[in-house]
């Protein structure tokens, strides 16, 4: 199993590296095309008043079949060609929400629009917001392809993080049913899933999905609120017991913030955008608490393996994020290095958790085997003397509950093997063992469906079963005698017989 897991991890890592290499190679390939299907422009917005922005763009000479596409976040929008309003997004006056959500706006152009100027007017109640300056021009399919091409690698990494979290969640649920799982596996899987969903919702590729701008915005905020709460439940299990109350306070605070923001949004009509700072403040307090408690653990406690591993992964994430920010600051590019760091973190922790759960499962199986050996006779496979005494103490209550209070609620059969000592002395213990196994198998075949069979001594067997009738008992004893006679007809070193 370890080799298989390592093989899959190596395969995924190699696949990611190859995709990155091929993507870089593709950027250095130049070719001549008859006509590009989509182009990306940077436009400038002029602020007309607080929250109101305008921009103009010269439509190409041949506008037939072209679209204009631009992102908006919380903006109402209006697109005018001349005096005609050709596109618009406006909130209902009685809406409980002051935001239009996250939206990709597609404006279809006609041949008659060729060479004209288009005016884009954006309006928002959030006075601190600035509009996105990216504008795409081309046919619809070409715009889709260009946006996907620009963002596919980061989105692919997010899908991997989501799939790892989902598989870990299913794995942990299965093991929880078997009572062998660490519940922190569930918490970490939820953290991984919410992290991936939150980042995917923020991705420009998600802008391409129609008719879910408001739902996407709401989902974005809830993922951001749930994600640190799940991480707290996971990480508190790897810190010492003396810190558990502090982690619980952090969890309660973030839970209170989520309830508070929900109430403000749906009952008082204060938008999630306006209360985002509360969650950000809660996350900041959580991070500061984590730093302080980690320093305290280093100074006062011995760091356990899981905590060391998590700290090492956090360092990798910070370095990867710093490199990504460096690219953005100096080259205005955002390679998916930071998300690759998160993928490594999720993969490493998932591997360690699965490995630990398998060890716990193996230990539990060994414990079950030891318990089974204590209650099962190793030679014959029927119950042992210890199991007989245990079941005798329990059986009466079970039978009374099942069959009612009667004078005779169960029956005990006692059997002795004849001539077992003679068989051992004259033919050896191998034949004596065969004698015991034959009789045990016969007892199990006849009584096993309705009762339990036990070996309670060297040549002593017992059967414990519910009482039905004397006719039923007599029939079973006759069946046993017939079975013994069948053994004798087949031939054995001694006459096989059981005294009942």
pLDDT digits over 194-248, tens only? 999 998 988 888 888 776 777 888 888 899 999 999 999 998 888 888 888 999 9
| Higher pLDDT pick, 324 / 15 | 324
Q: Residue 201 contacts by C-beta under 8 Å, 6 or more apart in sequence? A: 102, 216, 219, 220, 223
pLDDT at 372 (0 to 100): 67
Best CA proximity match to 164, nearest among 193, 194, 197, 144: 193
Closest CA to 447 of 471, 425, 473, 422: 473
Find out whether 379 and 385 touch, Cβ atoms under 8 Å: no
The Cα–Cα gap between 57 and 118 comes to 5
**What are the residues whose beta carbons fall under 8 Å from the beta carbon of 405, sequence distance 6 or more?**
none
* pLDDT exceeds 60 at position 262: yes
Give the pLDDT of residue 53.
Answer: 93
Q: Within a 10 A sphere around the Cβ of 212, how many other Cβ atoms?
A: 15
DSSP structure string for 140-179: HHHHHHHHHHHHHHHHHHHHHHHHHHHHHHHHHHHHHHTT
Spell out the long-range contacts of 316-324 with Cβ–Cβ below 8 A and sequence spacing 24 or more.
Answer: 316/341, 316/344, 316/345, 317/341, 317/342, 317/345
Residue 70 dihedral angles phi and psi, to the nearest 5°: -150, 150
- Per the CB < 8 A criterion, the answer to whether 473 and 459 are in contact is no
Six-digit token pair at 424?
Answer: 């051992």
Tokens 């653990």 sit at which residue? Answer: 297
- Rounded Cα distance between 96 and 472, Å, is 76
- pLDDT value of residue 136: 92
Instruction: Kindly report which listed range (110-114, 347-351, 394-398, 484-488) carries the lowest average pLDDT score.
Output: 394-398
Only one residue has tokens 């008043």, namely 49
Instruction: Compute the mean pLDDT over every residue in the chain, rounded to the nearest whole number.
Output: 80
User: pLDDT band at residue 69, thresholds of 50, 70 and 90?
Assistant: very high
Can you give the pTM of this predicted structure? 0.67
Q: Is pLDDT at 369 greater than 70 in this prediction?
A: no
Q: In what order do the strands lie in the sheet with 117-123?
A: 46-49, 52-58, 117-123, 76-81, 84-89
- With H, G, I as helix, E, B as strand and everything else as coil, classify residue 105: strand
pLDDT at position 493: 55
Q: Highest mean pLDDT range out of 96-100, 407-411, 468-472? A: 468-472
Q: What does the pLDDT look like over 291-345, one tens digit per residue? A: 898 888 888 766 777 788 888 888 887 777 777 677 666 665 566 777 888 888 8
- The rounded Cα 300 to chain-centroid distance in angstroms is 34
Examine the pLDDT at 169 and tell me if it is beyond 70: yes
In degrees, rounded to 5, the angle at the alpha carbon of residue 169 between the alpha carbons of residues 163 and 173 is 150
Q: What are the tens digits of pLDDT across the range 264-273?
A: 887 877 788 8
Dihedral of alpha carbons 205, 206, 207, 210, sign: positive
- Specify the pLDDT at position 250: 93
- Using the predicted structure, report yes or no on whether residue 15 has a pLDDT greater than 70: no
8 Å CB contact between 384 and 455: yes
Residue 381 · residue 455 · CB < 8 Å? no
- The pLDDT, as a whole number, for residue 29 is 39
Given this model, what pLDDT does residue 160 score? 92
Q: How confident is the model at residue 418 (pLDDT cuts 50, 70, 90)?
A: confident
Alpha carbon separation from 279 to 218, 220, 257, 282 (Å, rounded): 14, 12, 7, 5
Tokens 């006075």 map to which residue?
Answer: 127
- 437 pLDDT tier (thresholds 50, 70, 90): confident
Please provide the distance, in angstroms rounded to a whole number, between the alpha carbons at the two ends of the chain.
51
Angle, helix 213-235 to helix 184-202, in steps of 10 degrees = 150
Q: Could you tell me the pLDDT band of residue 33, with boundaries at 50, 70 and 90?
A: very low
Average pLDDT of 62-79? 89
- DSSP state string for 314-356: HHHHHHHHHHHHHHHHHHS---THHHHHHHHHHHHHHHHHHHH
Question: What is residue 251's predicted lDDT score, i.e. its pLDDT?
Answer: 94
- Distance CA(180)–CA(468), nearest Å, equals 40
Query: Do residues 87 and 105 touch, judged by C-beta distance below 8 A?
Result: yes
Question: What pLDDT score does 102 carry?
Answer: 84
């Amino acid at each position: 199993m370890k080799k298989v897991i390592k093989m899959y991890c190596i395969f995924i890592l190699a696949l990611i590296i190859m995709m990155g290499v091929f993507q870089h190679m593709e950027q250095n390939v130049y070719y001549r095309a008859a006509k590009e299907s989509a182009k990306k422009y940077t436009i400038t917005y002029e602020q007309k008043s607080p929250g109101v922005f305008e921009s103009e763009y010269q439509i190409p000479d041949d506008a037939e079949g072209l679209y204009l596409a631009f992102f908006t976040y919380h903006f109402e929008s209006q697109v005018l060609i001349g005096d005609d309003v050709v596109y618009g997004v406006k909130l209902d006056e009685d809406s409980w929400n002051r935001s239009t959500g996250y939206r990709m706006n597609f404006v279809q152009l006609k041949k008659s629009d060729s060479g004209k100027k288009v005016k884009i007017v954006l309006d928002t109640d959030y006075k601190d917001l600035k509009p996105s300056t990216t504008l795409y021009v081309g046919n619809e399919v070409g715009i889709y392809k260009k946006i996907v091409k620009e963002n596919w690698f980061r989105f692919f990494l997010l899908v991997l993080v989501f799939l790892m979290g989902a598989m870990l969640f299913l794995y942990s649920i299965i093991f929880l049913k078997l009572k062998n799982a660490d519940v922190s596996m569930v918490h970490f899987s939820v953290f991984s899933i919410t992290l991936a969903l939150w980042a995917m919702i923020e991705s420009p590729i998600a802008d391409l999905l129609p008719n879910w701008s408001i739902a996407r915005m709401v989902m974005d905020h809830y993922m951001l609120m749930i994600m640190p709460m799940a991480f707290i439940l996971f990480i508190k299990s790897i810190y010492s017991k003396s810190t558990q109350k502090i982690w619980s306070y952090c969890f309660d605070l973030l839970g209170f913030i989520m309830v508070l923001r929900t109430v403000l949004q749906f009952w008082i009509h204060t938008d999630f955008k306006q209360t985002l700072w509360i969650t950000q403040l809660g996350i900041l307090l959580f991070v500061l608490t984590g730093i302080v408690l980690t320093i305290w653990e280093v100074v006062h406690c011995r760091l356990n393996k899981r905590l060391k591993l998590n700290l090492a992964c956090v360092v990798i994430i910070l370095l990867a994020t710093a490199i990504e920010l460096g690219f953005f600051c100096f080259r205005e590019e955002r390679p998916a290095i930071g998300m690759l760091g998160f993928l490594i973190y999720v993969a490493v922790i998932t591997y360690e958790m699965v490995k630990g759960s398998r060890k716990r499962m193996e230990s539990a199986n060994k414990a079950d085997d030891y318990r089974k050996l204590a209650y099962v006779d190793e030679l014959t496979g029927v119950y042992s003397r210890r199991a007989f005494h245990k079941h005798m103490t329990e059986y009466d209550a079970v039978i009374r509950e099942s069959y009612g209070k009667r004078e005779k609620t169960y029956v005990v059969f006692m059997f002795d093997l004849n001539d077992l000592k003679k068989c051992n002395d004259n033919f050896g213990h191998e034949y004596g063992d065969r004698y015991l196994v034959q009789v045990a198998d016969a007892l199990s075949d006849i009584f096993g469906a309705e009762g339990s069979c036990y070996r309670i001594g060297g040549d002593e067997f017992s059967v414990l079963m519910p009482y039905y009738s004397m006719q039923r008992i007599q029939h079973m004893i006759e069946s046993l005698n017939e079975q013994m006679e069948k053994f004798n007809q087949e031939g054995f070193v001694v006459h096989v017989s059981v005294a009942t």
